[in-house]
Structure 1
Amino acid sequence: MLIGDLLEGTVRDHPDRIGVDFLGRTWTWAQIGEYVARAARGLQDLGLRKGDRLALCLPNTPYYIALYYAAARIGVVIVNLNPLYTERELTHLLTDSGACAIAVPDVAEIHGKVLEIAGKTALRHILVCPMAGILPWLKGLGWRFLKRRDHARIPARETGGVRHVRFDDLIANRAAPDPVAVAPHDLAVLQYTGGTTGIPKGAMLTHRNLTANALQQQRHIGVDLPPPQRTLAVLPFFHVFALTAVLDFSVLIGSELVLLPRFEMKAMLATIRRKPPTMFFGVPTLFIAINALPDKDIPDLSTVIASISGGAPLPHDVRHTFEARTGARICEGYGLTEASPVIACNPVFGEARDDSCGVAFPGTILEIRDPDHPERILGVGERGEVCARGPQVMAGYWKRPDETAATFIDGALRTGDVGYFDADGYLYLVDRIKDVILCGGYNVYPRLIEEAAYEHPAIEEAIAIGIPDPYRGQSPKLFIKLHDGTSLAPEDLRAFLSERLSKIELPKAIEIRDRLPRTMIGKLSKKELVEEERARAAQ
């Protein structure tokens, strides 16, 4: 299938059904289909052709949906960019991808960064997407007159070889786009890896990769979901989990997309009350944040049919607390950018096992291979590197043939994660290979330490890393954030952990912090803590 087929089928079958809700303003699927066709025509009028790269530096808005499906229709490749990226990060990704056009909201902070670096890249066009144009009337009026200092200043003329084009002008031509021969194996998205270590690499995701993963999710759920469904889209589409599991999947089944441009708890709770979702996708930090709410603010999510957690391991106490307080069941899944991204998930209507990320997605083959001898496949219960095969696995890394070759073994994608299967085929992740702590010849897995820490009722968040140890080489150190209004002494926590961990796993040091570092999409991040400890050891 092609990405455009997902939308085309829903527009054909449900033209009058509400497809998108953005802060209270709605569009039917027929209207979304028209926006997509006119945006595709507009991109062609700008000179974009099959294989050209269009960067989307947008929050979750109707603009993102229109441009994503428009680009897919005419064979233009999407490059996803986080609007919070720094100028240095944007420069690298735009240069590496060779994007010739970029879409940004008319927000000064975002537009200003792009304009500053545009001349250092191959950009020829900046597509300006005005926020007032998609807001309900009263909110749009407020944006126009009360938020003037946040408005981007758009040059009237071409600047530094870069031309600004407003979205309304882009879609002004009502003629149909020229037909383009697009095939399932054609490149659709350059999805850059997080870059927590090294330089971010562009995973080449094809139309087949992305549509397959949406279809796999439909098959994994395993039942025909009664219409109409409603998806709360709070995870950002520029992240591959939301791109496939939220956007493409919702379009495939015709589920109304209730968009939030960013995660803000008060706004999210108000949106849930206004439009109770039946589909709710999140990362563990989102569920942790909801669990931390007082009883009066806990949302009623009893309408939710499917709720999937991804992006990071989900501690079992977080899952159980969320389910008990909200009435919604969470299924933990597992994936990676290079696999579009989902390769395993707990059953939505079957048994979800604690600390497991579930069974292989339909059409996916998972293997556990010996990290030291990857040609050897291990058996049930043996720990090794998780490897995956399936229609969702990427074509390779953009312009990096050597790194592409290194990330495959016998045609299987090497995930870099250590895991094992139980007798029923449930996958359990132990940790990232690169995060394993080497203590005097023993492998210590940070995730096991974190899971033990989460069992303490005072702990809200936990990160374990390895620190230099003159005797063992490395020792574990645990960083924690406590729930508001609680207290916990490190020695008391160490006593608590000693009943759950071996002596070699017990943290040598415990540090309590007011906050723990996160990535730009809200996942807890080890990178900053590792760098801090490395600098401290070098002093």
Structure 2
Amino acid sequence: MQEAPQEAQKDPSHEVQDKARGEIRHDAPDGLPDTASHPAAATAPQRRISLGSLLAATARRHPDRIAVVDPADKPDWSDRPAITWTYAAAAEIVERLARGLRSWRLPPGSRIGLCLPGSAESALAILAVEAAGHVACLLPVSWDEERLLAAAQGVALSAVLTQARVGSAAPAQRLCNVAARYFGLRYLAAFGPDVPDGVINLDRFVLDGPAGEPAEPAPASAGIVSFVGGDPERPVYRSGESVVAAAAAHLVAMRVAPGERILSLIGPHDLRGLATGLAAALVAGASLETMPLFDGAAFAAALRRPGPTHLVAPAFLEKNLAGRDLPADLRSVALIHRAPTRLPGRSRAAGRPQSLRLDTVIDTVVFDETALLSGRRGTAGDISLVLGKPERLSLPASLMALRHEADGRLAFRGQACAATTLQRGSRPAAPDGSWQETFYAPVLFAGLATAIEAVERSEPAVLPEIFAPA
């Protein structure tokens, strides 16, 4: 290819990330000028930012860049090979899967469950469901039959994508039992060898499906459904733009550069795993490697692999990492806390005894499925400082705003927090921009947050009604 002008060679992931930090509305992955500054182009159709559009943008400019990496021990627990996918290969597989899903007799915006571990199949399936114009419902692969049945009935699932084997478990067979009890489940499909009878083999979608560019524009993304605290009775809906916005807000603290690697120990089963993993990698134009089943030796080997790396891990692993000599290529560690939680004192002073021997540590607190708040330790954006004084939050208000309610509870507003309880049988409504109240309040000492505690409310808060399509 001929060398393009320097101005056109700017990495698309940087352009998308800059847009995402401001107002997540439209995407120009092909380097097209912003219509706000060019009135003549105002009538041209604009594409909404979605996870799929981010994948496609990087695939066009950097087709050989690594997108998703399977863990090396994957064959041991899935009977499937560990594959490293480039952005170009991932985009092609996603399109093949999406065409297969569009061939099913399902109305646009149908709810499709994803009961998969956090390997490459999870990432590709999420993107394929989005590309097919349906709602991806994230079902933890650890759920038993009763919880899967409750979720399928409560969310009105029309189909489920799963895997034949995960360790000693057989999710596909478990979901066959669910389908026998819930007749609304019209399609059941699975990756892997030994797919049960009556279950569609997704590997054949990949091998036999049509390749190349789609013949017509893909349907609009219908959003994501996740479950608060892993409770199948508490589904929450958010739009695709809201997922991208949540990832962009996290990346302001984490600062992942294009081509770098995110090594995540948290699967994409909820907001925390999706926004800090797959969505963050796509916004940054980075690579994603996940470890669905944690193994100490495999984790140490993955961490030592060369290349700039950003680790995403549950907060309780900090004590295991503290005091250790970490690889020189490790750029940052994001420790994910679930509210309610205690914020350790050392989170405000990197370098003290027993702390992580790393310059960049990010604390990320997840408030159910409503919001995800990230901040760098020892800086003005430290979580303990921001929770003490919300005005310290240095994000555009349209992306995320934070305040204390009269009773001390935290409330969020902005596109990164645009989520609400799912109601079956209703169409989605546009967010009204109201504050999303939470059940949590910071415990303050000298203006600093030392913990986040749960607070009971005498009356339920009135949340904006944003519903996913039936």
TM-score by length of 2: 0.71
> Which of 157, 161, 170 is matched with 1:99 structurally?
157
Cross-structure match for 2:233: 200
CA distance, structure 2, for counterparts of residue 177 and residue 44 of structure 1 = 12
Mapped partners of 1:288, 1:85: distance in 2: 28
Q: Structure 2: how far apart are the matches of 1:155 and 1:191?
A: 27
- 1:331 match: 362
Q: What one-letter code is carried by the residue in structure 2 that aligns with 1:22?
A: D
The partner residue of 1:396 within 420, 425, 428 is: 420
Assess, with a 3 A threshold, how the Cα gap between structure 1 residues 356 and 263 changes in structure 2: closer, same or farther. Answer: farther
Q: What is the number of residues matched between the two proteins?
A: 381
Distance across 2 between alignment mates of 1:318 and 1:247: 29
Q: Where do 1:54-203 residues align within 5 Å?
A: 54-107=112-165, 108-121=169-182, 122-130=184-192, 153-156=194-197, 158=198, 163-169=199-205, 172-175=208-211, 176-177=213-214, 179=216, 182-183=219-220, 187-194=222-229, 200-203=233-236
RMSD over aligned CA atoms reads 3.5
Give the conservation status (yes or no) of the 8 Å contact 1:231–1:256.
yes
Q: Cα–Cα, structure 1 residues 415 and 428, in superposed 2: closer, same or farther, change >3 Å?
A: farther
Q: Which has the higher contact order (CA 8 A, sep 6+)?
A: 2
Q: Is the Cα–Cα contact under 8 Å of residues 364 and 391 in structure 1 kept in the other structure?
A: yes
Letter paired with 1:273: R
Shift of 1:5: 1.7
Match of 1:369 among 405, 414, 418: 405
Distance 2:196 2:383 in 1: 55
Q: Match for 2:209: what amino acid?
A: N
Which residue of the partner structure matches residue 477 of structure 1? none
Unaligned runs of 5+ in 1: 133-152, 372-383, 436-539
Q: Partners in 2 of 1:119 and 1:45 — Cα distance?
A: 23
Q: Please say if residues 65 and 86 of structure 2, whose CA atoms lie closer than 8 Å, have aligned partners that are also in contact.
A: yes
Aligned-partner Cα distance in 2 for 1:37–1:400: 28
1:99-498 pair list within 5 angstroms:
99-107=157-165, 108-121=169-182, 122-130=184-192, 153-156=194-197, 158=198, 163-169=199-205, 172-175=208-211, 176-177=213-214, 179=216, 182-183=219-220, 187-194=222-229, 200-221=233-254, 225-275=256-306, 278-291=309-322, 298=324, 300-312=326-338, 313=341, 315-316=343-344, 319=347, 324-327=355-358, 329-339=360-370, 341-342=371-372, 344-347=373-376, 350-351=379-380, 353=382, 355=384, 359-360=392-393, 361-362=395-396, 363-371=399-407, 384-399=408-423, 411-419=434-442, 429-434=451-456
Cα deviation, residue 234, structure 1 = 1.7
Tell whether the 8 Å contact from 1:234 to 1:261 is kept in structure 2 after alignment.
yes
Larger Rg: 1
1:7 aligns with 2:55: yes
- Percent identity between matched residues is 20
Instruction: Report what 2:80 is aligned to.
Output: none
SS in 2 for 1:387: strand
Cα 1:13–1:323 change in 2 (3 A) is farther
Q: Equivalents in 1 of 2:281, 2:138: separation in Å?
A: 19
Change in 2 beyond 3 A, CA 1:322/1:102: farther
Amino acid at match of 2:227: Y
Question: 1:55 Cα deviation (Å)?
Answer: 0.9
**What is the CA deviation profile of residues 395-436 of structure 1, one whole-angstrom value per residue up to 9, with x for unaligned ones?**
4211189xx9xxx99921011101278999x7665411149x
| Deviation (angstroms), 1:84 | 0.8
For 1:336 and 1:195, how far apart are their aligned partners in 2?
Answer: 13
Secondary structure class of the residue paired with 2:170: helix
The alpha carbon displacement at 1:252 in A equals 1.6
Classify the secondary structure of the residue corresponding to 1:65: helix
Q: Distance in 1 between matches of 2:301 and 2:112?
A: 34
Corresponding residue of 2:14: none
Greater shift after overlay, 265-274 or 308-317? 308-317
Secondary structure, in 3 states, of the residue corresponding to 2:376? coil
Q: CA deviation at 1:124?
A: 2.1
2:467 maps to which residue?
none
Structure 1 distance, partners of 2:291, 2:434, is 39
- In the alignment, the residues of structure 2 paired with residue 258 and residue 209 of structure 1 have an alpha-carbon distance, to the nearest angstrom, of 23
Matched residues in 1 for 2:96 and 2:179: separation? 26
With the length of structure 1 as denominator, give the TM-score of the two structures: 0.63
Contact kept? 1:80, 1:190, Cα under 8 Å? yes
